[in-house]
Amino acid sequence: MNPNTLKKPQTILIIDDDKPMLLGLKTLLERGNYNVMACDNSLDGIKMAENILPDLIVCDIMMPFMDGFKVREALSANPLTHNIPFLFLSARASLDDKLKGFEDGADDYITKPFDPRELIARINAVFRRQDKSHQGATEEINRQIERIQSEITHNFSHELRTPMMQILMSLDMALRDKYDDPDELKYFVETALSRSHRLYTLIDDLTFLGNYDMGNKFNFRQRIDIKNDFNLPVALRLDQYKDKNLKVEINVAEGIKIHAPRREFRQACGHLIDNGLKFSPPMTSVLIDLAPNGDGGCILTVTDYGQGIPAEFHEMVFKRYYQVSQGISREYGGLGVGLPIARIIARALDGDVTILPVEQGCCVRMVFGPAPLDMP
């Protein structure tokens, strides 16, 4: 069987106030195996185009209420219809009219009277150009996907391999060599523990994204223990960056009560704080502020004095793997999932994560909306 016979017929919308011409065109194009819709006035034609989104519009120019040029202008201004191929069909055969038609974005211009075979050939040519354009766009999208997949594979392997090698080397040194100084032994054990936390975070992030893609919800409200669910994870992050000698100020509102899923709360806070520490130059300041937001809600603000994020990238950085897509030679490690994960969690709790405008550095704010506990 010819695969072309299984292809869904393309839909053509004809707009022409000449009813005998409209009927003739409809019959002609239906014989050419097109699905044809017809309209005898410009205003209804615009509405019909918005509703059915045809594959091609064939439009007369000389019509009451709105001429064909105005129809084209109205459809071009609508995001739903501006990319639909457009063919003018008119008795106006002057060069100025043809030029205006093409300047208005028409894909072709045919003058009346016309040979039916020429009309069919012109329409087929428009569809062939469209198919080639779509094919080219698809090929470019596939190339971009392959590039990003390659970078994700490379960086994912690097992000897993590096801490794993450091863990193995530290444990090997601690077990194989005999250290008289307990501080030396402690150093290797602490290194292995720190890198284990890093590896666990990577696995936790990928598990979270997998659960999110499967439709799991993260809006169960539990009582947050500030000591175990906030202070302890913050201390672990600070320990990872202790060599930078950062001056970190932590402000937690006294008596704050937060209702959120504990695991996801630690995960979201950890990512925002990690970013602030990671992108801060050595011996600079980082401010971490945790404040209440109604009954059970909270606002976490992390401010650093690093290079900051340009305003035009404030939304881009919330795209999954955005940092990876900057190439394998990017300055900082990570898979580019921290901010997207934090935003997913915040929005599940009637909040959001945003980057605030500041003169220097970066200020990220995460808001959880207020809500009662799901379990006492």
Answer with the one of 172, 193, 213 that is the final residue of a domain: 213
Q: Identify the residue with better confidence: 156 or 327.
A: 156
Tell whether 326 and 295 lie within a shared domain: yes
Tell whether 259 and 328 lie within a shared domain: yes
Q: Does the residue 123 lie in any domain? A: no
Q: Does the residue 138 lie in any domain? A: no
Q: Is the dihedral of CA 188, 330, 309, 356 positive or negative?
A: negative
Tell whether 352 and 228 lie within a shared domain: yes
Tell whether 152 and 199 lie within a shared domain: yes
- What's the pLDDT tens digit per position in 33-88? 899 999 988 899 999 999 989 999 998 888 888 888 888 889 888 888 888 888 88
pLDDT recorded at residue 4: 43
pTM of the model: 0.57
Answer with the one of 194, 213, 232 that is the final residue of a domain: 213
CB atoms near residue 201 (< 10 Å) = 21
- What's the pLDDT tens digit per position in 141-197? 667 656 655 666 556 666 666 767 777 777 777 777 666 667 777 777 777 777 787
Q: Does the residue 131 lie in any domain? A: no
Tell whether 242 and 314 lie within a shared domain: yes
Q: Is the dihedral of CA 156, 162, 163, 168 positive or negative?
A: positive
Query: What's the domain count of the chain?
Result: 3
Q: 360: domain CATH number?
A: 3.30.565.10
User: Domain of 184?
Assistant: 147-213
Say whether the peptide bond before residue 113 is cis (omega within 30 degrees of 0): yes
Q: Does the residue 184 lie in any domain? A: yes
Q: 23: domain CATH number?
A: 3.40.50.2300
